[in-house]
Amino acid sequence: MKKFFLTCLLILWTFPLSAEEEKNVYKYLNLFGEAFEKIKNNYVEEVSSKELIESAIEGMLSSLDPHSTFLNNQELNELKVQTKGEFGGLGIEVTLENGFVKVISPIDDTPASRAGIQAGDMITHLDDEPVLGMTLSEAVSLMRGKVGSKIKLTVSREENQTLQIEITRAVIQLKAVKARIENNIGYIRVSSFNQKVDTQIIKAIKDFKKSKESVIGYVLDLRNNPGGLLDQAVSVTDIFLNRGEIVSTRGRFEREGSRYNSVKKDLIDGLPMVVLINQGSASASEIVAGALQDHKRAIIMGTKSFGKGSVQTIIPSGEDVALKLTTAKYYTPLGRSIQKTGIDPDILVEQVELKKVEVQNKRKESDLRGAIENEQEKDKKNSDNKNKDKTSKKDTSEDYQLSRAFDLIMALNLIDNKVLQ
């Protein structure tokens, strides 16, 4: 306890205060000391000094914003593992909102996404235990557990819908980047911005260029991407720009601001590009979408993003613990802060489920007896049959937003071809 107060005194010496401010600080430090001693001596059960002080620090941080928190040794190690791309749990990115655990987004190909967890879901109970009153760290700890064990989530969804969802815990191995060529369009899906995402995207684009299929444009899918490392967001954006600012951060003091600029060449050579976002696109995803939108390098399609425009810094403190503290806000190249507002898409496209409508067969010219033959039709059929097996063209109709993105790329390509003719 003496060490704690010596640290507080050192802080007072490091940051000079006015006489009135210094008086108030000493007053509240004395209040803290009194509360600490009374709890230690009078609480119904014995409690460790370490637990009390860590809880006090957690209380200070959680009162600031939903993203600032205290990381004990276990939580700090788990965070390090997450950024490397493998950890145990359910596979969801969460935050605290109004005392409940809010899902920022489920992670692709994880137990949570397969169980039907959606961005925006509010988790109210974990194994019938209310989360109201828990810290975010406590809730996350309950969701993690032995691989193969089960947990029941009570989820509140829009329109007063309450769901009971049972999920089996698993080791979450993040494959952050998936890529393929579909309908001559380079499709790149990024599920999170962990380490080496930029190199994976660069490799995918280079592989596309070596392919026999001619790529006419790109779709960068950032839906349900909760974010990750700032440097990866900058590097990924730089892949698609020739010049200009990517993002700036501004802290409490002017000296804490930083600017990040493009230093590479547009690797896709100016081809048309669509970026898909939704409510689950947060933080680093919004940096990428905001920069490409401001530079008019890509068309942003989908729905409004999450709106997390703050930067957290991991500050080591003591032995094997750290503070995760919000130290800055980030701004797009045009100076927009998206904190609590998000990125508005250029083209609003809600995700909907389409069903094929059966239409009664109507007669065509070719159905009429004695219709004149079209000599070009035979050649066209032969040509179609030859080209049918050349490429693998997947059906994107089940994903309405992706289908619209593909349609837009193909339309832009048609316009470009007509202009060149």
Residue 38 CA to its chain's centroid (Å): 44
Q: Answer left, alpha or beta for residue 339, where phi above 0 means left and psi between -120 and 50 means alpha.
A: beta
Count the Cβ atoms, other than its own, within 10 Å of residue 293: 23
End-to-end, the C-alpha distance of the chain in Å comes to 80
Mapped onto helix, strand or coil, the DSSP state of residue 58 is helix
Q: How far is CA 374 from CA 86, 365, 378, 419, in A?
A: 60, 11, 8, 30
Tell me the HSE value of 277 on the side-chain side, using a 13 A CA sphere. 32
- Which residues does 310 contact at the CB level (< 8 Å), separation at least 6? 65, 67, 326, 328, 329, 330, 339
Count the Cβ atoms, other than its own, within 10 Å of residue 377: 10
Mapped onto helix, strand or coil, the DSSP state of residue 203 is helix
Q: Please name the residue that has the structure tokens 């000094």.
A: 49
Please list the active-site residues: 283, 294, 308
Secondary-structure breakdown of the chain: helix, strand, coil percentages, each rounded to the nearest 5: 35, 25, 40
* 8 Å CB contact between 96 and 58: no
Instruction: Give the whole-angstrom CA distance, residue 180 versus residue 177.
Output: 10
User: Based on the number of CB atoms within 10 Å of its own CB, is 416 exposed (0-12), middle (13-18) or buried (19 or more)?
Assistant: middle
Residues in the chain: 421
